[in-house]
Amino acid sequence: MSDPDEFERQLLEQMTSYRRKRPYRPVFGQPEGDWRVEANWEDAYYGAAHAVVSGVVEGRYPRAVEGVAGLYLFRHYLELTLKYIILHSRWIEDEHTLAEAVKEVEKTHSLKKLWGLFKAEALPKMQEDESVKEWDIDFVESCVLEFDAVDPGQGERFRYHGKSFGGAPAGRGDERLWIDFEQLLENMPHVREVLGMVDVWFYETHGMIQEWEAEMNSW
């Protein structure tokens, strides 16, 4: 049988670990000059969102704790992916011509605005490809606009408890937002698959135009 005094000592040590002095070991190795973060940004946020929402649905994470983080991560995935698609669509003028200049995507967090740019700029460039008409763009639009309706503008409803940090939060008497995490988990992979195909389309189209122009220039 273990020593009761030793057990109490270990328990006390665990409960008061904040008193223990420890040397801090740095997490980052920051190079001199310019540097970058190595990441696949949209994959990173989608993967983290899927892991968190799965944990909520499976009961490993409380909905009122990690759940809101999962919502924010997926919303941010939507924002980043739309920005990448819009940027990559600007690589080409149409299905046969490279763009002479590529304009940066303006700084915005509005999903509605980004979706508007996607429909105005990217989608028309894909219309000659009949197969694209079979893709489930409507499903993605419904998802993007639903998230925008709940979290419009700068996208702060899942980031802070108020419009600004320390601002007035919703009162206890206010109605709570109803969230179907099970349905969200079901929707997420389909949204990612469709948006992924759209982005690949612009990558491949850009590459094919480059190859064709290089071949023409070699004659």
What is the residue extent of each domain of the chain? Answer: 78-161+177-217
Residue 180 is inside which H or E element, if any? Answer: none
- Is residue 78 predicted with pLDDT exceeding 80? yes
pLDDT band at 45 (very low <50, low <70, confident <90, very high): very high
With a CB cutoff of 8 Å and minimum separation 6, the contacts of 76 are: 45, 49, 155
53-57, 104-108, 171-175, 215-219: least confident range = 171-175
Check residue 131 and report its DSSP letter.
G
- Say which amino acid occupies 1: M
pLDDT in tens, 106-156: 999 999 999 999 999 999 999 999 999 999 999 999 999 999 999 998 888
User: SS3 for 97?
Assistant: strand
pLDDT tens-digit map of 147-204:
999 999 888 889 887 767 776 666 666 788 999 999 999 999 999 999 999 999 999 9
The span from the CA of 57 to the CA of 50, in Å, is 10
